[in-house]
Amino acid sequence: MVKNIFLVLLLSTFASANLQEKIISFMGQKSYAKQENLIKILFKNQNSFYKQSDGNINSLKVIQVLQDNGLLKLSYARPMSLHITFVTDKNPLIFTRIVSESLEAVGYNYFLTQEAKKSTEQFRWTINLKTKRIINPTLFAKELEKRGCKIVDIVKQSDEQWVYEIDSHDAKLNALHLEPNTRVDLSKPIQPYWIESDQAESIKIRTSLADHWFPLVLFLDKGLHLISQTKIDERTYAITLRVPENCKYIRISDIYTLDNIKRGLSVYLKK
Q: What is the pLDDT of residue 267?
A: 97
Residue range 56-84: mean pLDDT, rounded: 93
Q: What is the pLDDT of residue 143?
A: 96
* CA 36-39-43 angle, 5° bins: 145
Q: What is the pLDDT of residue 161?
A: 94
Q: What is the pLDDT of residue 271?
A: 87
Share of the chain above pLDDT 90, in %: 80
Task: From residue 96, give the alpha-carbon distance in Å to each of 45, 137, 207.
Answer: 36, 17, 30
- Packing angle between helix 137-146 and helix 59-68, nearest 10 degrees? 130
Q: What sign for the dihedral angle of Cα 133, 136, 139, 140?
A: positive
Express each pLDDT in 223-247 by its tens digit: 899 999 999 999 999 999 999 999 9
139 band by pLDDT with thresholds 50, 70 and 90: very high
Q: Is the pLDDT of residue 3 over 80?
A: no
Q: Is the pLDDT of residue 2 over 50?
A: no
Q: What is the pLDDT of residue 53?
A: 85
17 band by pLDDT with thresholds 50, 70 and 90: low
Q: CA-to-CA distance for 88 and 263, rounded, in angstroms?
A: 39
In the chain, CATH 3.30.70 covers 75-167
Express each pLDDT in 188-199 by its tens digit: 999 999 999 878
- Going by C-alpha positions, the residue among 62, 227, 179 that lies closest to residue 217 is 227
Q: Contact, 265 vs 193, CB < 8 A?
A: yes
**Helix H or strand E encompassing 38:** helix 36-42
Q: Is the pLDDT of residue 206 over 60?
A: yes
In the chain, CATH 2.60.120.260 covers 183-270
Q: What is the pLDDT of residue 9?
A: 31
Amino acid at residue number 198: D
Q: Contact, 58 vs 49, CB < 8 A?
A: yes
3-state secondary structure of 83: strand
Q: CA-to-CA distance for 41 and 158, rounded, in angstroms?
A: 26
Q: Is the pLDDT of residue 8 over 80?
A: no
Amino acid at residue number 103: L
CATH number for 183-270: choose from 3.30.2130.30, 3.70.10.10, 2.60.120.260, 3.30.300.160. Answer: 2.60.120.260
Q: Is the pLDDT of residue 31 over 60?
A: yes
> Under CATH, which architecture does the 75-167 domain have?
2-Layer Sandwich (3.30)
The whole-model pTM stands at 0.84
Q: CA-to-CA distance for 136 and 247, rounded, in angstroms?
A: 34
Amino acid at residue number 93: L
Q: Is the pLDDT of residue 5 over 80?
A: no
Q: What is the pLDDT of residue 232?
A: 97
